[in-house]
């Protein structure tokens, strides 16, 4: 499963109402570190497809959702489980650290 794109309009249905934990990547086209972690997130989406969904939300095109969740720096990754923020990770991290963070968060919320 590849990453999906969510917007202010689809955020509730795609993320908050999801029965699977969702990692939301708050990013922007001009953000260098966002582009650095994008390939790792694509790989994670493929490898962990049954356990989590990976969604990307462009903060420039969708300003309401980032402001609702207090996004002040990008990239910011949030894991949503059961409609709530389960964990937040700011800044670019290597794939291994992201996978460890995701696994720790998912096992704590199940």
What tokens does 50 get? 């049954």
Q: Which of 23, 31, 44, 59 is catalytic?
A: 31
Query: Which residues lie closer than 8 Å to 24 by C-beta, 6 or more apart?
Result: 6, 15, 55, 56, 57, 77, 78, 79, 80
DSSP three-state, residue 80: strand
101 is catalytic: no
Please say whether the beta carbons of 13 and 78 come within 8 A. no
Q: Which of 6, 15, 24, 34 is catalytic?
A: 34
48 is catalytic: no
Residues serving a catalytic function are 31, 34
């Amino acid at each position: 499963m590849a990453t999906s794109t969510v917007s202010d309009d689809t955020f509730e249905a795609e993320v908050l109402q999801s029965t699977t934990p969702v990692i939301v990547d708050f990013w922007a086209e001009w953000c260098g570190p966002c582009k650095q972690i994008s390939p790792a997130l694509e790989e994670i989406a493929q490898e962990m497809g049954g356990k989590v969904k990976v969604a990307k939300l462009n903060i420039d095109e969708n300003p309401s959702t980032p402001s609702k969740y207090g996004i002040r720096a990008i990239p910011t990754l949030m894991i949503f489980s059961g409609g709530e923020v389960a964990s937040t990770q700011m800044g670019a991290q290597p794939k291994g650290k992201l996978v460890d963070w995701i696994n720790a968060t998912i096992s704590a919320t199940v």
